[in-house]
Structure 1
Amino acid sequence: MAQTLLSVSALLLSVALFIFGHGLQTTLLPLAADRFYFTDLEIGAMSSAYFVGMVLGCLGAPLIIMRAGHIRAFAALVSLMSASAIMHPVIVDPYAWFLIRMISGFCLAGFYMIVESWLNETATNENRGTIMSFYIVILFAALMMGQISIATMSISSFVPFVIASVTVSIAIIPISLTTSTQPAPITLVRFRPRQLYRNSPAAFVGVVFVGATQGALLTLSPLYGSQIGLSTNQSAFYAAAIIGGGMLAQWPVGRLSDRIDRRLVLVGLGIATIAASLAIAFFSPNEFLVAIVSAVLLGMFTQPLYAISVAHAFDHAPSEAFVETSSGMLLSFGIGSIVGPLAASLIMRQIGPSGLFVMLIVANIAMVAFILTRIYARQALTAEEKTDFEYTSTAQVGSVISPEPLDAEAEEYVIPPEEFPAYEDDIYNFEHAEEDTPKTDEDETGETAATQDDATDAEASDKRS
Structure 2
Amino acid sequence: MIRSLTPLAALLISDALVLLGHGLLLTLLPMSAHQLGFSDFQVGLTGSSYFVGFVAGCLFTPLVLKRVGHIRTFAVLASGYTTFILFFVWSESFLGWMLLRFMIGAMVAGIYMIIESWLNERAASKNRGAILSFYAMMNLVMITLAQQLLNLGNVDTLLLFALAGIFLSLSVVPVSITLALAPTPIKKVSVDFAKVWKHSHIGIIGSIFTGLITGSFWALAPIYAKESAFTTFQLANFMSAVVIGGALFQIPLGRFSDKFDRRIILSFIAFAGAVVSFLTFIASFQPFYAGTVSTVLAFMWGGVGMTMYAICLAHANDNADSADFVDIGSAMLITYGLSSAIGAPIASAFMSILGHQFLFVFMGASFAIFCVILILRRKSHVLPVMAQDNEEFQAVAGLTTHEAYNLDPRSDDIDESATENELQREWADVDADYHDILDSDVDTPNTKR
**TM-score normalised according to structure 2 size:** 0.88
Rounded to whole Å, the distance in 2 between the matches of 1:317 and 1:80 is 39
Rounded to whole Å, the distance in 1 between the matches of 2:42 and 2:138 is 32
Rounded to whole Å, the distance in 2 between the matches of 1:246 and 1:153 is 27
**Superimposed CA distance per residue, residues 5-57 of structure 1 (whole angstroms, 9 cap, x where no aligned partner):** 11101111011000100011111111111111111111111111110101111
**Superimposed CA distance per residue, residues 198-246 of structure 1 (whole angstroms, 9 cap, x where no aligned partner):** 1100111111110110111122111111111111232122112111111
Match of 1:231 in 2: 231
**Superimposed CA distance per residue, residues 70-120 of structure 1 (whole angstroms, 9 cap, x where no aligned partner):** 111111111111111111111122211111111111111111111111111
> Alpha-carbon deviation of 1:362?
2.1
Matched, 1:311 2:317: no
Contact residue 317 and residue 328 of structure 2 kept, 8 A = yes
Match of 2:268 in 1: 268
**Superimposed CA distance per residue, residues 355-411 of structure 1 (whole angstroms, 9 cap, x where no aligned partner):** 21111022112211222222123214221111011115x75322112334767x969
> What amino acid sits opposite 2:250 in the alignment?
Q
> What amino acid sits opposite 2:293 in the alignment?
V
| 1:31 alignment partner, SS class | helix
Higher mean C-alpha deviation, range 346-355 or range 185-194? 185-194
Contact residue 307 and residue 396 of structure 1 kept, 8 A = no
Match of 1:342 in 2: 345
Matched, 1:90 2:94: no
Rounded to whole Å, the distance in 1 between the matches of 2:101 and 2:147 is 17
**Superimposed CA distance per residue, residues 412-465 of structure 1 (whole angstroms, 9 cap, x where no aligned partner):** 99xxxxxxxxxxxxxxxxxxxxxxxx9xxxxxxxxxxxxxxxxxxxxxxxxxxx
| 1:226 alignment partner, SS class | helix
Structure with higher helix content: 2
**Superimposed CA distance per residue, residues 169-192 of structure 1 (whole angstroms, 9 cap, x where no aligned partner):** 110111111111111211323212
> What amino acid sits opposite 1:179 in the alignment?
L
Within a 5 Å distance, the mapping from 1:224-303 to structure 2 comes to 224-284=224-284, 286-303=289-306
**Superimposed CA distance per residue, residues 248-272 of structure 1 (whole angstroms, 9 cap, x where no aligned partner):** 1011000110011111111111111
Rounded to whole Å, the distance in 1 between the matches of 2:15 and 2:102 is 20
Contact residue 120 and residue 405 of structure 1 kept, 8 A = no
Match of 1:206 in 2: 206
**Superimposed CA distance per residue, residues 292-341 of structure 1 (whole angstroms, 9 cap, x where no aligned partner):** 00100110111110100001111112111111111111111101100111
Matched, 1:352 2:355: yes
Contact residue 189 and residue 402 of structure 2 kept, 8 A = no
> What amino acid sits opposite 1:324 in the alignment?
D
Contact residue 151 and residue 234 of structure 1 kept, 8 A = no
Higher mean C-alpha deviation, range 379-388 or range 339-348? 379-388
Rounded to whole Å, the distance in 2 between the matches of 1:405 and 1:117 is 16
> What amino acid sits opposite 1:300 in the alignment?
G
Rounded to whole Å, the distance in 2 between the matches of 1:395 and 1:308 is 12
Match of 2:120 in 1: 120
> What amino acid sits opposite 2:360 in the alignment?
F
> Alpha-carbon deviation of 1:125?
1.0
Rounded to whole Å, the distance in 1 between the matches of 2:178 and 2:14 is 11
Contact residue 21 and residue 164 of structure 1 kept, 8 A = yes
> What amino acid sits opposite 2:196 in the alignment?
L
Match of 2:385 in 1: 381
> What amino acid sits opposite 1:372 in the alignment?
I
Within a 5 Å distance, the mapping from 1:421-440 to structure 2 comes to none
Within a 5 Å distance, the mapping from 1:24-423 to structure 2 comes to 24-284=24-284, 286-378=289-381, 379-392=383-396, 395-402=398-405, 403-404=408-409
| 1:388 alignment partner, SS class | coil
Contact residue 31 and residue 232 of structure 1 kept, 8 A = no
Contact residue 209 and residue 336 of structure 1 kept, 8 A = yes
**TM-score normalised according to structure 1 size:** 0.85
Rounded to whole Å, the distance in 1 between the matches of 2:139 and 2:403 is 16
Contact residue 120 and residue 406 of structure 1 kept, 8 A = no
Contact residue 17 and residue 168 of structure 1 kept, 8 A = yes
> Alpha-carbon deviation of 1:148?
1.4
Higher mean C-alpha deviation, range 374-383 or range 268-277? 374-383
- The CA RMSD measured in Å over matched residues stands at 2.0
**Superimposed CA distance per residue, residues 279-300 of structure 1 (whole angstroms, 9 cap, x where no aligned partner):** 1112205331111001001101
Rounded to whole Å, the distance in 2 between the matches of 1:395 and 1:149 is 20
> What amino acid sits opposite 2:318 in the alignment?
D
> What amino acid sits opposite 1:350 in the alignment?
I
Rounded to whole Å, the distance in 1 between the matches of 2:248 and 2:30 is 26
Match of 1:420 in 2: none
Rounded to whole Å, the distance in 1 between the matches of 2:87 and 2:207 is 33
Where does the alignment leave 5 or more consecutive residues of structure 2 unmatched?
419-425, 427-449
Rounded to whole Å, the distance in 2 between the matches of 1:412 and 1:397 is 26
Rounded to whole Å, the distance in 2 between the matches of 1:182 and 1:377 is 50
Higher mean C-alpha deviation, range 216-225 or range 305-314? 216-225
Match of 2:8 in 1: 8
Rounded to whole Å, the distance in 2 between the matches of 1:243 and 1:339 is 22
Rounded to whole Å, the distance in 2 between the matches of 1:412 and 1:399 is 21
Rounded to whole Å, the distance in 2 between the matches of 1:338 and 1:20 is 23
> What amino acid sits opposite 1:219 in the alignment?
A
Rounded to whole Å, the distance in 1 between the matches of 2:269 and 2:411 is 32
Name the % identity.
33
